[in-house]
Structure 1
Amino acid sequence: MSSMPERPTLLRQPPPDPNKAPIENVLDVTELAVLGPNIFTNTRKPWHPPGARGIYGGSVIAMSLAAAQRTVPADFMCHSCHCYFLLAGSSELPILFHVENVRDGRSFATRTVQAKQKGRVIFTTTISFVRENSSASSSALVSHAAPMPLTDAAGDPVRPPPDDFAGEPELLNQGPFQGHRIEVLNKDSALPHEKKTRQWVRARGKIAGGHQAHLTALAYVSDSYFIGTITRIHQLWRFPFRPEEIPQMPDETQERVRLMHEWEGLGSTDDMKDRPEVSMMVSLDHTIYFHEPKRVVADEWMLNEMESPWAGDGRGVVTQRIFSKDGTLLATCVQEGVVRVKAAPKTEGKEFKL
């Protein structure tokens, strides 16, 4: 007897809701009360980035958060999320999100979420929520926040792109988020920990689902280019072919490679000859601290600034700060990942896979 065919969702995928922003449709989860309490599944097929081992990690983080949000009162907001990526997720299998009610207190609530495919846990997270206005009188609080980064040139605060920005290449403008070209600061420094990357991002369309939808959108984009910061500050080559091979490719492929390379702040591909080559790069864990949950407006420009204090033993750590366009520090994120480099460049026996 033949087995049931695999499918990306447990239930039939509905058409996109035109009243929601694209990111809201991407991250929609459906409750499965028939299977038990606090069990959810992905409503639509998750994105599998080209060349990646599995689905985009930010979607699993964000859908786990969306599921957990459904189990707490409306006045409780996520302030921290601690995640572990355990197995590569498949875009051809449904995901089940099992939410466990760990604790409900007056000021804080805690949930754990396990994301499973075929009974195996591919991702787990512990999420803490805080009740709005649960702190003491504002006069009794300590308060500080890092300010908006300054430009290198004039020393003025970094300013967002115009609201009508449309300079994103067509090759890169298909996802639910719009981004500006990545900038690498201190690019010529011999010390990788002195370098930083910056990029402006915003969700396409208008998010209609309230502050919780804005938080899941931020969680989604927080994983974008994150551990890849290591490749930028060390100038590592990450494509499945050597830069010396690019002139042998079709003109269209050459243009795509150069465009993607430059858009990510790495400059000309000609400068990457003889650079070390990435053999493996995957995220291990991911933490988000939401500092100002009610001030997150993910469909307006947000600046992320990333740097790496350490790399070694086949791993790297990257920190990220996310600011609103008015300079409010919205979130701080930390990620550790496996970053392995090939011992020497190899050019023989490879196929062009882009």
Structure 2
Amino acid sequence: MDDRPTLLRPPPNDPNKTPIENALEVTELAVLGPNIFTNTRQPWHPPGARGIYGGAVIAMCLAAAQRTVAANFLVHSCHCYFLLAGASELPILFHVEQVRDGRSFATRTVQARQRGRCIFTTTISFVRDSSTTTTTTTSSEVSHASEIPKDAAGRPLQPPPDDYADEPELLAEGPFQGTKIEVVDGGTSGKPGEKKTRQWVRARGTIRGGQAAQLEALAYVSDSYFIGTITRIHRLWRFPFRAEEYDDLPEDARAKVKALHQWEGMGDDPREMVGRPAIGMMVSLDHTIYFHEPGRVRADEWMLTEMESPWAADGRGVVMQKIYSKDGTLLATCVQEGLVRLQQPTPEGKESKL
């Protein structure tokens, strides 16, 4: 069989589903064995990336696992490892193992495989939806949650209007909509570890696939701009040419680079990055999501993502992310570690092989 992005012929997009629901659809392959699924449509390969977008693999693994648990169980945590770069031109098989089914918790492991090799693995834990149980006793559980960040006047941050449409044209085709990333310096020293990035995001359209689809959509967007937080708080050049070569680009290319540079909170003019260190390699290694309020996730409504990095060294970096609903509820906390290597200067007298 010739290489192709899906094992079965992809159906046309369902007009009754949002773009993110169509993108994350998985198909069960009972003919191959129990609890085996495959991607229904070709996953996205970001320009310049080593492989397919990690958030798509996370979300499709979750979609497959959710198909194997009772409807009254909701995901509360995913612990993931990126092992190999996924190829967008090859189908993915998702093998789900039913590790445990208890009264209150259920556990699944999922391996995503291409050509027999495991490219990604995750352990996913589900908890019985507390809204489906009734009790007459007074709750004695401990309870607290981080509050949504406040503006300069001390008021909780407010989402954009529902008719928001200020995205650059080159970013307006994806399944999620977002605002310009804001880099906030929370300290007085200007140190990277004291900075945070903030962005409002939401899935396009109205998700109609139930709570499972809402959770898959959140898992998808949780990987957006995640390890890249390191580039923003350290002000690292990330394009595949030197900042000094910006003025030599064609006019349309300069316009696109400037739009992305501004959108990612890096400043108004890419020329300001001349002389700054450049990223040589940046790859996600692992990814964890804690779903605090899985029953309240509405990924098709505005959510605020706030990211910060407590540590980077030894060629790696760690980024932490909080995701809030528009009413201020802390929906999820995510942690990611990634490989972060700076571009090494080309020895004098030698040309770059790139």
SS in 2 for 1:73: coil
The answer to whether the aligner puts 1:215 opposite 2:215 as a matched pair is yes
Shift of 1:291: 0.3
Write the mapping of 1:73-222 to structure 2, written as runs, cut at 5 A. Answer: 73-133=70-130, 137=137, 139-151=139-151, 153-186=152-185, 189-222=189-222
Mean Cα displacement is larger for which, 316-325 or 139-148?
139-148
Match of 1:226 in 2: 226
- 1:226 aligned counterpart, secondary structure: coil
| Paired residues of 1:203 and 1:299 also in contact (CA < 8 A) | yes
CA shift at 1:5, angstroms? 1.1
Residue deviations 1:121-148 (CA, integer Å, cap 9, x gap): 0000000000112697552211111111
C-alpha offsets along residues 47-92 of structure 1, whole Å, 9 cap, x if unaligned? 0000000000000000000000000000000000000000000000
Q: Which runs of 5+ in 1 are unaligned?
A: none
Counterpart of 1:199 in structure 2: which amino acid? Q
What is the rounded CA distance, in whole Å, between the counterparts of 2:146 and 2:75 in structure 1? 20
Deviation at 1:349, TM superposition (A): 5.0
Partners of 2:284 and 2:15 in 1: how far apart?
Answer: 33
Partner of 1:327: 328
**1:280 counterpart residue number:** 281
The two structures, once aligned, show a CA RMSD in angstroms of 1.7
Unaligned runs of 5+ in 2: none
Q: Which stretch shows the higher mean deviation, 106-115 or 335-344? A: 335-344
User: How many residue pairs were aligned?
Assistant: 348
Match of 2:235 in 1: 235
Among 57, 73, 83, the alignment partner of 1:60 is 57
- 4+ runs of 1 displaced by more than 4 Å? 134-138, 345-351
Alignment of 1:226-305 (within 5 A): 226-267=226-267, 268-305=269-306
Summarize the Cα distance change of 1:346–1:297 in structure 2 as closer, same or farther, 3 Å threshold: farther
The 1-side partners of 2:347 and 2:307 are apart by: 30
Please state whether the residue corresponding to 2:95 is helix, strand or coil: strand
Whether contact under 8 Å (2:298, 2:325) holds in the other structure is yes
Contact map agreement 1:242 1:346 (CA 8 A) in 2: no
Secondary structure of the corresponding residue to residue 339 of structure 1: strand
Amino acid in structure 2 at the alignment position of 1:112? T
Contact 2:280 2:344 in 1 (8 A): no
Determine if contact 2:129/2:295 at 8 Å carries over to the other structure.
no
Quote how far apart the aligned CAs of 1:190 are. 3.0
Instruction: Please name the residue that 2:46 is paired with.
Output: 49
Q: For the residues of structure 1 that align with 2:318 and 2:129, how far apart are their CA atoms?
A: 32
- Measured in 2, the distance between the counterparts of 1:39 and 1:189 equals 52
Shift of 1:189: 4.4
Deviation digits for residues 6-31 of structure 1 (CA, Å, limit 9, x no counterpart): 00000000000011111000000000
How far 1:344 sits from its partner (Å)?
3.1
Structure 2 CA distance, aligned partners of 1:61 and 1:191? Answer: 32
TM-score, scaled to structure 2: 0.95
Q: TM-score, normalised by structure 1?
A: 0.95
SS of 1:256's equivalent in the other structure is helix
Q: Offset of 1:346 from its aligned partner?
A: 8.3
Q: C-alpha distance in 2, partners of 1:139/1:201?
A: 34
Residue 154 of structure 1: how far off its partner (Å) = 1.4
Conserved? CA contact 2:346–2:352, under 8 Å: no
Q: Kindly indicate whether the alpha-carbon contact (under 8 Å) linking 1:276 and 1:344 is maintained by their aligned counterparts in 2.
A: no
- Distance in 2, matches of 1:220 and 1:138, equals 37
Equivalence for 1:338:
339
Identical pairs, percent: 71
**Larger CA deviation: 134-143 vs 226-235:** 134-143
